[in-house]
Chain A
Amino acid sequence: MLNYDIVVVGGGPAGLAAAIEAKKNGADHIVVIDREYELGGILQQCIHNGFGLHIFKEELTGPEYAERFIDELKEMNIEYKLDTMVLHINKDKQLSVINTVDGFLKIQAKAIILAMGCRERTRGAIAIPGSRPVGVMTAGTAQRFINMEGYMVGKKVVILGSGDIGLIMARRLTLEGAKVMAVAELMPFSSGLTRNIVQCLEDYNIPLLLSHTVIDIKGKERVESVVISKVDENRKPIPGTEIEYECDTLLLSVGLIPENELSKSAGIKLAQVTGGPIVNESMETTVEGIFACGNVVHVHDLVDWVTEESKKAGKNAARFIKKEIKPSKEIVKTIPGEGISYIVPHIIRSVNLEETVDLFMRVKNVYKNAKLVVKADEEIIKEIKKNYMAPGEMEQLKIPSSLFKEKQISEISVVVIKDGE
């Protein structure tokens, strides 16, 4: 049995930031474990720019953004194991780990930080009928083939779903010489960032078909065409609106799901909406001493916010080892109200707060000229005007911790109020 203060599971942006911050806050014996051959996670295949605008005030590519953290991690002599898989975690913070060099290992940690990220929803998850030819692929897998391995996945492409990876891949495929016929989105709005719609679709005259979906995939060996239909307000296809697109590839960008098999093995409770662990103000899960951050908790829009959240998890894991995190029965719940799909963290224990508590959330719909209203129990404590809010973009609110000292609060809720209501 090996012993570590902190084991960080996942060496992507979340794990890297968490490990570095834990070390800065006095944790000593840390190891980062990743299954890939290099650190950096999915950022390594995101060769487009736009990363780091908030954290570094410059536009970096994914690998460049990752490199800054990898360099810092190495300078701080934080240990890492690559090509290594965590098979199991239990609630006593023991991990079963394997790789080709060390073989099968048991590790006892004082604290664990979960940073496994997320995976893509697949064709099965959305059950598109039709034949099952080759050429139906998730956008992230295509991204890996093209950017990491140097292979093209198709010549004429339709993309279903307007998640950010799909939008980015529309541009990448175009630049690599493929023809992107259209991007179909089931919802009346895109789930991607506005800047990606402009820079990846509009700049290349790729049509974005809102309220449309793929109703049939045709082809024996390889995809030969897909049929796209308009949908009504209940997202049901409208007969008579079908258009057949001749293509050899259908890319799916239909959502991301936090990767929580290990969390389940440790008995961590997951939240219904996010699919990630329920966390408190310290990014601690329902199992004491196991923290979580980044896309394993909830899918973020920008890596910058992943970094911020993960720093918090790293710092608090270090504080946990120093016994500075206080268990407390006095908890404040965060409640997503009208128009809000979820809020992270789910629980606030005011005794552990520093100056502010950051609430991350997503809205359910596109809102123009609306406001976010924060209530402590029934009392309005904050109103923020928003010109534009969309489900594709995360909203962030800071609540001063002084609020909790002034009086007893049982819940904080956030609602969207439309202009004029």
Chain B
Amino acid sequence: MYDVAIIGAGVIGTFIARELSRYKLKMVIIEKDNDVSNGTTKANSAIIHAGYDAKVGTNKGKFNVVGNTMFDQVCEALDVPFKRIGSLVIAFDEEEMKTIHSLYENGLKLGVPNMEVIDSTKVKEMEPTLNAAIVGALYAPTAGIISPYELAISLAENAIDNGAELLLNNKVDCIDKVYKGYKIHTNENVIDSRFVINCAGVYADDIYAMVDTPDFKIIPRRGQYYVLDKSAGEIVNKVIFQCPTKLGKGVLVSPTVHENVIIGPNAENLKDKEAIETTEDGLGFVKESAQKIYEDIPFNKNITTFAGLRAEPSTGDFIIEESKKAKGFINVAGIKSPGLSSSPAIADYVVEIVKDINGGLEEKKDFNPKIRKKIRFADLSDQEKTEIIKKDSRYGRIICRCETISEGEIVDAINRNAGATTVDGVKKRVRPGTGRCQGGFCGPRVMEILARELGRDMKDIVKDHKDSYILTGYTKEETEFEKVKDLVAPAIDK
């Protein structure tokens, strides 16, 4: 019997797991996919919002501003790339300037620090490339950029370091209420747990429906993005938003923590919770809309496009509460934007809920908030490079030439807790394949390393999901000669 079962290994599930791993609890994270952070967490704008735009009195308003302040510490402890670069919401006319002012006022009420309404001269100073027609902007210096999937992966690693368990490829089929807890049936296992925390993203309503009639629905709202090569990385310095409309925050242009440029998203309400394909119309809209911010965005430097699904709740706000009927079942649902920004505060709040239900929690004395330091070879000084290669020669072999990633880093990413087992898993953790060649050169070598470290054949290495095989077989299927070649080969050598 587990004390806590968390369903979903996105940034919310892993953050809660990490915070709960401070306490003496037997805990398991159940994930349907083949890796952590494989849903919304890996496909979003990667922004830590300052938090001025949620309505006062909502969960979004409450958690965003507090969550924002917590990233420096957690990213330091977990060695996750995070930069507080600030954001601008730009306005093109007086009408939009009114919105800017009301955002500012709203931000003040929510407690967003150090905001400024700035004029076009100041905008030009901060962002010389932007459209000259901009009349002013809301500047929020506390906004930041992050690698959300690296955050979730490191949270999972840290939770496991501190005793949590992770079950991948376990899709929850049904949940039975049993005496003092729940029996969770997955396609692979049956898991008993006293408490269940539902962090299932776009599937949170479906999971909740297994124990009670949900009073909310999750609508998958798709957003599509472009990612530009590093050589385009200098076009903007801050996160640039357009004036929000009823449809949301609109298309943004922002640097990423890895010095690329991200552009998107659009917003399309869908029915299919797996519809993460991009479309010509969607990408076309993003492109056109972004060109309002800066006309000469070098879209010819595009290295990839992707789409992600926001978990849009029918209630319009985050749902973070124990179910009224299903005791011990906690919904953490509808965590759309600013969900990532709110995640540290949400995790803390969920800990309070669990404490409440459990009548307090006992802290572990040996809880370690830090993970083993990651080595980022490209960022080391010449001296440090010399030393690390002396210590472990695998750091002297560059596998990914676009991003300068060494074999040592890839091996480390595979051998950590919540480590990589797939090509995309390696890519999310240490980035070979995220550069301009998109894995053309390093893909085969990453597969070789995975096969070697995991003790598998190359053709059993998948790209991402369990069945996403890359190779379809050997070129020459086994012949009579192949079968006896080990016997024959020594004879031929002689």
Chain A residues at the B interface, C-beta cutoff of 8 Å? 35, 83, 85, 87, 96, 98-104, 106, 119-120, 122-125, 127, 129-135, 138, 140-141, 144-146, 148-155, 176, 215, 220-222, 248-249, 261
Main secondary structure of the interface of A (DSSP, over half): mixed
Is the beta-carbon distance between B437 and A120 smaller than 8 angstroms? yes
- 11 A/B residue pairs, CB under 8 Å, sorted by A: A98-B385, A101-B393, A104-B386, A104-B396, A122-B438, A127-B299, A132-B277, A141-B444, A145-B471, A153-B471, A222-B468
The 6 closest A-B pairs by CB, nearest first: A131-B277, A124-B304, A100-B393, A85-B398, A100-B396, A103-B389
Closest to A96 in B: B382
**Interface-facing stretch out of B149-157, B241-249, B459-467:** B459-467
- A138/B440 contact (C-beta < 8 A), A100-B393, A151-B471 known: yes
**A183 CB, nearest partner CB in chain B, Å:** 19
Contact B437 A104 (CB under 8 A): no
Task: Kindly specify which of B63-71, B207-215, B278-286 makes contact with the partner chain.
Answer: B278-286
Task: Check A220/B397 contact, CB under 8 A, given A120-B437, A140-B440, A152-B474.
Answer: no
* B57 is an interface residue with CB less than 8 A from chain A: no
Residue of A nearest to B393 (CB): A100
Q: Which residue of A lies closest to B470 (CB)?
A: A134
Chain B's closest residue to A259 (CB) is B401
User: Contact between A176 and B397 (Cβ–Cβ < 8 Å)?
Assistant: no
Is B394 part of the binding interface, using a Cβ–Cβ cutoff of 8 Å? yes
**B302 near A248: Cβ-Cβ < 8 Å:** no
A152-B475 contact in complex given A100-B389, A119-B440, A141-B443, C-beta closer than 8 Å: yes
- B438 contacts A133, C-beta separation under 8 Å: no
Pick the residue among B278, B282, B439, B472 that contacts A152 (CB under 8 A).
B472
Contact (Cβ within 8 A) B397 A130: no
Q: Which residue of B lies closest to A172 (CB)?
A: B475
Known: A129-B277, A152-B474. A104 touches B398 (CB 8 A): no
Are the C-beta atoms of B476 and A35 separated by less than 8 Å? no
Q: How far is the CB of A95 from chain B (nearest CB, A)?
A: 12
Is B437 touching A83 in the complex (CB atoms < 8 A)? no
Most buried by B among A125, A148, A220, A248: A125
Give Cα A155–Cα B471 distance, bound, in whole angstroms.
10
Report whether A127 and B226 are in contact in the complex, using a CB–CB cutoff of 8 Å: yes
Contacting A220 at CB < 8 Å: which of B274, B389, B437, B472? B274
A144–B302 contact, CB under 8 A? no
Q: Which A residues are in CB contact (< 8 Å) with B439?
A: 141
Closest to B408 in A: A100
List of A residues within 8 angstroms of B112 by Cβ: none
The reply on B306 being an interface residue by CB < 8 A is yes
List of B residues within 8 angstroms of A138 by Cβ:
440
Q: Are A221 and B441 also in contact (CB < 8 A) when A99-B397, A104-B396 are?
A: no
Given A125-B303, A222-B468, A104 and B389 touching (CB < 8 A)? yes
16 additional A-B residue pairs with CB within 8 Å, beyond A103-B385, A106-B382: A85-B398, A100-B396, A103-B386, A103-B389, A127-B226, A127-B305, A131-B276, A134-B464, A134-B470, A145-B471, A148-B444, A149-B458, A153-B471, A153-B472, A221-B468, A222-B467
Contact status of A103 and B276, CB under 8 A, knowing A134-B470, A145-B471? no
Is B283's CB under 8 angstroms from A127's CB? yes
- Min CB gap A379→B, angstroms: 37
The yes or no answer to B490 lying at the interface (CB within 8 A) is no
A129's partner among B278, B440, B458 (CB-CB below 8 A) is B278
Task: Enumerate chain A residues within 8 angstroms of B458, measured Cβ to Cβ.
Answer: 149, 151
The docked-state distance in angstroms from the alpha carbon of A106 to that of B282 is: 48
Interface contact A35-B274, CB-CB below 8 Å = no
**Which residues in A have their C-beta under 8 angstroms from that of B465?**
221
**Within the assembled complex, what's the spacing in Å between the Cα atoms of A101 and B390?**
9
Q: Any chain A CB within 8 A of the CB of B473? A: yes
Q: Please determine whether B463 and A155 come into contact, CB atoms closer than 8 angstroms.
A: no
From the candidates A106, A215, A220, name the one contacting B280 in the complex (CB within 8 A): A215
User: Which residues of the other chain, B, contact A102 by a CB distance below 8 angstroms?
Assistant: 396
CB-CB contacts below 8 Å: B300-318 with A: 302-306
Give complex CA distance A83, B390 in Å: 16
Tell yes or no: B291 within 8 A of A by CB. no
Tell me if B469 counts as interface (CB < 8 A to partner A): yes
Asked if B404 CB lies within 8 Å of chain A CBs, one says yes
Distance between B477 CB and nearest chain A CB, rounded to angstroms: 8
**With contacts A35-B401, A134-B463, A221-B468 known, is A145 near B444, CB below 8 A?**
yes
A151 touches B277 (CB 8 A): no
Closest to B227 in A: A124
B463 engages A98 (CB within 8 Å): no
Measured CB to CB, the closest approach of chain A to B303, in angstroms, equals 4
Q: How distant is A53 from chain B, measured CB to nearest CB, in Å? A: 27
What's the nearest-Cβ distance from chain A to residue B448, in Å?
A: 8
Q: Are A85 and B401 in contact (CB under 8 A)?
A: yes
Complex Cα spacing A181 to B337, Å? 43
- List the A side residues contacting B396 at CB < 8 Å: 98-104
Whether B390 and A141, one on each chain, are in contact in the complex, defined by CB atoms closer than 8 angstroms, is no
Contacts A35-B401, A103-B386 given; does A151 touch B440 at CB 8 Å? no
Q: Is the CB of A104 within 8 A of B382?
A: yes
Note all chain A residues with C-beta closer than 8 A to B386.
103-104
Chain B contacts of A130 at CB under 8 A? 277-279
| A residues near B438, Cβ cutoff 8 Å | 122-124
In the complex, chain B residues whose CB is within 8 Å of the CB of A155: 472
B279 to chain A, nearest CB (A): 5
How far, in Å, is A287 (CB) from chain B's closest CB?
A: 19
| Residue in B closest to A146 when the chains form the complex, CB atoms | B475
Instruction: Please give, as numbers and ranges, the residues of chain B lying within 8 Å of A154 by CB-CB distance.
Output: 472
Cβ contact of A119, chosen from B274, B398, B404, B437, cutoff 8 A: B437
In this complex, which of A98, A140, A150, A154 has the most chain B Cβ atoms within 10 angstroms of its Cβ? A98
Tell me whether A152 and B473 are in contact in the complex, defined as CB-CB below 8 angstroms, given that A127-B283, A131-B276 are known contacts: yes
Contact A129–B397 (Cβ < 8 Å): no
Contacts of A153 in B (CB 8 A): 470-472
